[in-house]
Amino acid sequence: MISLKDHEDSPEKTLQEKNHHPKEENNHSIEHEHRKHLEQDHSKHEEYTEHLKQNHTEHEEHVEHEHKEHLEHDEHTEHNHHQAMMADFKKRFIVSLIITVPVFFLSEMVQELLGLHFLSFQGDIYILFLLSSFVFFYGGYPFFTGLVSELKVRQPGMMTLVAVAITTAYIYSAGVTFGLMGMTFYLELVTLIDIMLLGHWIEMRSVMGASRALQELATLLPKKAHRIGGEGEVEDVPLENLQVDDLVLVKPGEKVPADGIIKESQSYINESLLTGESEPILRSAGEEVIGGSINGESSIKVMVEKIGEDSFISQVVSLVEEAQESKSHTQDLANRAAFWLTIIALSGGLITLLVWLGMLGQDLSFALERAVTVMVTTCPHALGLAIPLVVAVSTAISAKNGVLIRDRQSFENMKNIHAVIFDKTGTLTEGKFGVTDVISFKKDDFSGEEILKYAASVEKESEHPVAQGILKSVQETYPIKDFHSRPGEGVQALVGDHEVKVVSPAYIETNNLEVTSSELVDIQKQPKTLVYVVIDGEVAGAIALADVIRPESKDAILKLQRQGIQCMMLTGDNEDVARWVAEELGLDEYFSRVLPQEKALKVREVQENGYKVAMVGDGVNDAPALTQADVGIAIGAGTDVAMESADVVLVKSNPADMVTILGLTKATYSKMWQNLLWATGYNAFAIPLAAGLLYSWGILLSPAMGAVLMSLSTVIVAFNAQLLRINKI
């Protein structure tokens, strides 16, 4: 796994390439800008535009700058497109529904059924024709454009079916109006269009709702930042004016404007919308903060490290979009099923027409109604939505919980894994020294807590990793004076009236100091670093340090093992360290002294034993192993989340999220198949009914009722996808 700052072929490059090959919408935007410039200064910009055409390379830098100006617009283009489509379907539905009211009351069938013959008048059939024509052309317009789009790519689908059905009904009804023998379908026609528009509106609302979490991410950053000048003055500047290494002030309750490092003070930071971590986290000077997180009760000064597409939020948005666009095996299956269902519907409609006309002797009006009903009822609308809605919901859920899915197919493969191989350092452990044991040899005089506090007080003047590990284990220290460091031996200082030394085992041996403790014997057998605390010339206690095992690692491994998954570990550490960590966590197997370049070979060995393998690593030297595994999972380790070799990224650096992923992939797969079974099962039932199989029993499905059932199946599929949100994962 390679982080953004270490990998040249990162999403930064991808985004730049994307800028040089923009979408059609973006091209239009640039052309519009050029036209505006031409109107303002025609002669100057005509020459410039001509030069741009002749030598694109020379103006590449200008184009990139122009794209940068439009970046915010481009990020929202697709979202705005969906909003516009939703608004369009809603408007067409409302207008068509209003026109449907007079069509309803002017229909001969309704007048006879409700006894409203007084509404009939000379020439009312032509009024019906005009009103229905309006609904046909205005309300049916999206289906005609959809038909053209589907036929262009040679993928006839739902739009093709609806367009063929309403066109058939309209042409036949118009023919009857102007002299052809038969009955009109005007009421069926307009109600069918109304229901289809309503169904599409509901669909667009579902899609918009499913991606709401991604939209929230894109709007997390504040509009302005308090930038601190060279002389300490504070000015409010737009976010786009921030540069790397700018110092900004973040007041209590405000959002952090950019990814950076705290330079002064400390505060509790709420990162719940970014990482899923519910509790605010105390961040101090020297620690990283993420743009978009919310500052607590203290003002902090932050040095900006990342802006624009390098920022955490931009990377998350990019990865979530990538996940939503990535191919899914189940989606491919659904697409093939939808294509064949469309062929079956068109063929079924034609066969139904011919059978009722030729073999069963019905008139053209009846046969045509059956054919239209078959085509409408069999629309693969629900089938087309079955997978995308589940994908959108699961992607939003995972992003909200700090799990970023980069490859859908690998994500779906998670349900089949037999083994999880964890990298040790930085994955199962924190990758830094921490206190594991504190022993007091003089419990009557000093408790373990006091021993640790005395040691931390002396060590706060030292930069040694052991000193930092001890210092991080206490909340506060005592004042000291007369600090001295003795290389190879330790450090000492006066703490109050006591002379306190924190020394190595070598110092104890050299000075023949007496140490007796049964607890110490067990610790000395473990691969831990041991230091002693000497107070006023006597050994008062000992502190053991090691690469701290993450507290959540043991629980995660236990839960995975309960699901029948083998848990293994790779490490470059020696046998003693590997064995100790494996025993502490209850791992099934471990591999020690594995060099970075050998990790992929170890993964392959496990695969050759018949296991489907997920590899979890910290992204520093695990890239080959992550690529070799059936599913590569990267521990996010802060804000560098765009790790190119991984299929899934755990933003919170929490191995327990492995359990979350597994639960989510199983629930997602289950919902996909539920939707597929419902969509195909519905059609298996509806096609014979629509064709008139139960006509002899007096059961006949009208085109409008077929559209109702088809839309109902779509709503059920959309609702079932949303139920994924309340699944216990």
Return the structure tokens found at 148.
Answer: 């053209």
Active site residue 423: yes
How far is the C-alpha of 650 from the C-alpha of 658, rounded, in Å? 8
Helical pair 381-400 and 186-210, crossing angle rounded to 10 deg? 20
- Strand order of the sheet with strand 648-650? 403-405, 648-650, 631-635, 613-617, 419-423, 566-570, 589-591
Return the structure tokens found at 317.
Answer: 């948005």
Q: What is the gyration radius of the CA atoms in the chain, in angstroms?
A: 34
How far is the C-alpha of 665 from the C-alpha of 394, rounded, in Å? 8
- Strand order of the sheet with strand 247-250? 234-238, 224-228, 247-250, 300-306, 259-264, 288-289
CB burial of 235-246 (b: ≥16 within 10 Å; e: otherwise) equals: eeeeeeebeeeb
Residues with Cβ < 8 Å from 100, sequence gap 6 or more?
135, 190, 191, 194
Sign of the Cα torsion 173, 177, 182, 187 reads positive
Reduce the DSSP state of residue 643 to 3 states and report it: coil
Q: How many CA atoms lie within 13 A of 55 on its CB side?
A: 7
Residues 248/250/256/258 CA torsion (nearest 10 deg): 0
Catalytic residue among 194, 310, 407, 423: 423
Helical pair 158-177 and 124-134, crossing angle rounded to 10 deg? 160
Judge contact between 649 and 307, C-beta under 8 A.
Answer: no
C-beta atoms surrounding 650 within 10 Å: 27
Label the pairing between strands 566-570 and 589-591.
Answer: parallel
Give me the active site residues, please. Answer: 423
